[in-house]
Structure 1
Amino acid sequence: MSVVRMIEPVPASADTPAERMRRVAKIAAQQVDAVDREGRFPADTIEVLKRERLLGVAIPVEHGGEGLGTMEIADLIVQLAQACGSSAMIYAMHQIKTSSFVSHGGASDWHLAYMRRIAAEQLLMASATTEAGIGGNLRNSICAVEVADGRFSLTKEATVISYGRHADAILATARRAPDAASSDQVMVVIPADLNRTLERTSVWDTLGMRGTCSDGFHLVAHGDAAQIFPKPFSEIAAQSMLASSHIFWGATWFGIATDAFNRAQAFVKAAARKQADGSLPPGALRLAEAAALLQEMKGHLAAAIHRFDAAKGNDDALSSIGFTAEINALKVAASEKAGAIVRLAMQINGIVGYKNGTPFSVGRHLRDVSSAPVMISNDRILSNTATLLLMSRFDTSLRG
């Protein structure tokens, strides 16, 4: 059951999503140190996200949302990530799961109705794709759904369910049936207010991203078979989830790196004002190096968003080797560049960047982005891309 208390939504206003997110980010920034230090769920930030009606913004207008596109959602994530990495990652993962409803929910009356509930009630979605025995390989499952007389049952040993105890619903993957192959998967929506039990099996005590509260759980669920998405998970992953994941994760890491860069820039500007002879202060060249990396990261992220938007509605394009390789490259590059930018900020700011509680502190940023290369291992992604490249040629056209 979600611990986020029910609140009354604010009246509809002319405020843009960015203006509403600015209010959320202000609350997130006030609590980020406590969230990180205590490893607690950022409940107040999520409450304000709900009150500002930002959880359903991707849902089409005709179903109660605002119909925001990929770029607009990514910009909101970047904005929140500059205040709190954990809060932004929660928001990003929610939007990733929402994208499955937006892209595939229309094929089923049950999922269409639930998508409308997400918008109307501002429900928070979580994901259970990892499992004991398979690690981060989300395209394989050990557990299976069992369907009989229009009902399903599922038991899953989920090594990680980010903010699972706080979500209003969990979207879990499993084999289509007990005799199905490990890659023959489905995804099922498991609301907190229906037949579901979560028994915690591990505690999220980590270096960074501590507020995501990504504990492990023994998940048991029963329900209407209509809660299972009609489309195979392989198609959901290829047509919406893969690109949304890497884009929205990349936006989170870009936002964290941007805030670290801004702190380094402020430090160098303060040092420059003390240079009586007008010379460049120590760290200025490293700042330029960080700016170049940040611009590369921004350009790669924007290009991937444009490519994804251009391919939407074309299942062949979304499932193509070239598109998959490009989206995989985004994840690897963004995760590595974010870490490099934050490390440069630490080098520029020196001891006041290393210390906690200064205007130039970047220790939390460094710990948060350290999760990026292992959040689905870069080695696993590169291995998958290498296999794809054995079957294709690299596209050298600058037009994409």
Structure 2
Amino acid sequence: MNVQELKSRTAARRSGEHAFVDRSSFLQRTTIVAAAATAEAEDVDRQARFPQGAIDAARAQRLLGIQIPLAFGGDGASMSDVTDMCYTLGRACASTAMIFAMHQTKIACLVRHGTGSDWHETLMRRVAAEQLLLASSTTEGQNGGNVRSSSAAVERNGTDISLVRNATVISYGAQADGVITIARRADDAAASDQVLVAFTRDNYTLERSLEWETLGMRGTCSAGFELKATGSAEQVFPEAYDKIHAQTMTPVAHLCWASAWAGIAAAAVERAQAFIRKAARGAGGQMPPGAAHFTAAKMTLAKLRAMITANLDTYMAHEHDERALSSLDFQSQINLLKVEASELAVETVMSAMRACGLSGYRNDGDFSVGRHLRDVLSAPLMINNDRILANISTASLMSGVPAGLRD
């Protein structure tokens, strides 16, 4: 038994979790949710409404608590399981997939960094039993996507805490059962001295400050709110946010988002394939002009999926190795995944549209990929790629250039 396996089994014993997780039902349960998401995807996009049917199905299939350890009533799903679900849901409805991806990122933080805290373990049990949907509040005021800088601070009064936060975006905030947010540790703390705090719906109020009228991802309902929350000090995660950010928040978010985007791209490629096949049959086997673009779409989708799985394998191999996860090389790699996956997803869907030609451009046909393109265009903008590349460039100067192919 290697060191990694020993650590994993030790962690499982400490939580009372059995070593075996039955994954046999995961695909079937996800497929049922995907069918519900597909049925309302067009209307969710058209009306810019929350995909209630899909999320209700996810609750019924107990997917919202699927990552929660067995000891706390969940299924103990791995990150590989979760990213597969994000991909499957992305093929059905982009908004549903992105909501699921963001929720599961919060759950991953709760599981990894809340175990050992009575309050957070109770929340885990509630998520598993009640299938609570947790929203994320990381964007604030003028900071945009700079999640490593907070303005609002946690106010402390004995064992009580309060927080007032100008959250310019809280995806599905009005529909969530709880919110996990970052904030400055205290009034006198630096903007980067942050904590993560979990609040349930009875702990806070939301006052809408911005609407959500966008080109795509319309069903995520990512409006802006003033968040006013009160609670107890034990709701603050015991570990500092910089550690949570490096070990869990960033890698899990980027893996789940990328998987959802790949699902959107796969759906577009599937429509392009159906169009090319139909066109070829109608022309007696002669390939239509868009066939080359379909080949390009298939190639970029394969590259995108390979990139995600390679990064997923790396993350899972070092999942419990704090030093490896915090290294400059891993942090650069996982941030570049977000940049490259988002660009490749857009390229793939664009190629699929060109393969379909006018039939792909139309919104009223079986081969339309307009919704897919509008949704996937959010990928390079959600935590802007330019910001990520600027941050990576500084870190990259501090790491060496490999001397060989396998170094």
Same fold (TM over 0.5): yes
Distance 1:299 1:197 in 2: 42
After superposition, the C-alpha distances for 1:116-142 in whole angstroms (9 at most, x for unaligned) are: 111111010111111002111001100
Matched, 1:314 2:324: no
1:272-287 correspondence to structure 2 within 5 Å: 272-276=280-284, 278-287=285-294
Distance 1:80 1:118 in 2: 20
After superposition, the C-alpha distances for 1:340-373 in whole angstroms (9 at most, x for unaligned) are: 1111111111111111131101000010011000
Q: 3-state SS of the aligned residue for 2:49? A: coil
Residue type matched to 2:292 in 1?
L
1:1-400 correspondence to structure 2 within 5 Å: 16-194=25-203, 196-276=204-284, 278-395=285-402
After superposition, the C-alpha distances for 1:270-317 in whole angstroms (9 at most, x for unaligned) are: 1111233x4322211111111110010010000000000011111110
**More displaced 10-residue stretch of structure 1: 99-108 or 365-374:** 99-108
Q: 3-state SS of the aligned residue for 1:220? A: strand
Residue type matched to 1:122 in 2?
Q
Q: 3-state SS of the aligned residue for 2:187? A: coil
Q: Percent identity?
A: 48
Q: 3-state SS of the aligned residue for 2:174? A: helix
Distance 1:395 1:64 in 2: 45
Distance 1:320 1:346, change over 3 A: same
1:107 shift after superposition = 3.0
Q: Normalising to structure 1: TM-score of the pair?
A: 0.94
Distance 1:69 1:395, change over 3 A: farther
After superposition, the C-alpha distances for 1:150-191 in whole angstroms (9 at most, x for unaligned) are: 010100000000000111110011000000000000011111
Distance 2:224 2:126 in 1: 27
Q: 3-state SS of the aligned residue for 2:380? A: helix
Q: 3-state SS of the aligned residue for 2:367? A: coil
Residue type matched to 1:39 in 2?
A
CA contact (8 A) 1:322 1:395 kept: no
Distance 2:107 2:403 in 1: 34
CA contact (8 A) 2:255 2:308 kept: yes
Distance 2:365 2:37 in 1: 17
Distance 1:365 1:14, change over 3 A: closer
Distance 1:100 1:283 in 2: 44
**2:7 is matched with which residue?**
none
CA contact (8 A) 1:107 1:230 kept: no
Residue type matched to 1:27 in 2?
A
Distance 2:32 2:403 in 1: 43
Distance 1:115 1:357 in 2: 43
Distance 2:36 2:88 in 1: 12
Aligned residues, how many?
Answer: 386
1:394 shift after superposition = 3.8
CA contact (8 A) 2:23 2:77 kept: no
CA contact (8 A) 2:184 2:194 kept: yes
Residue type matched to 2:309 in 1?
A
**More displaced 10-residue stretch of structure 1: 182-191 or 101-110:** 101-110
Residue type matched to 1:288 in 2?
T
Distance 2:57 2:405 in 1: 42
**2:16 is matched with which residue?**
none
**More displaced 10-residue stretch of structure 1: 247-256 or 59-68:** 59-68
1:259 shift after superposition = 0.2
CA contact (8 A) 2:292 2:355 kept: no
Q: Normalising to structure 2: TM-score of the pair?
A: 0.93
Structure 2: gaps (5+ residues) = 1-21
Structure 1: gaps (5+ residues) = 1-12
Q: 3-state SS of the aligned residue for 1:186? A: strand
Q: 3-state SS of the aligned residue for 1:372? A: coil
Q: 3-state SS of the aligned residue for 2:142? A: coil
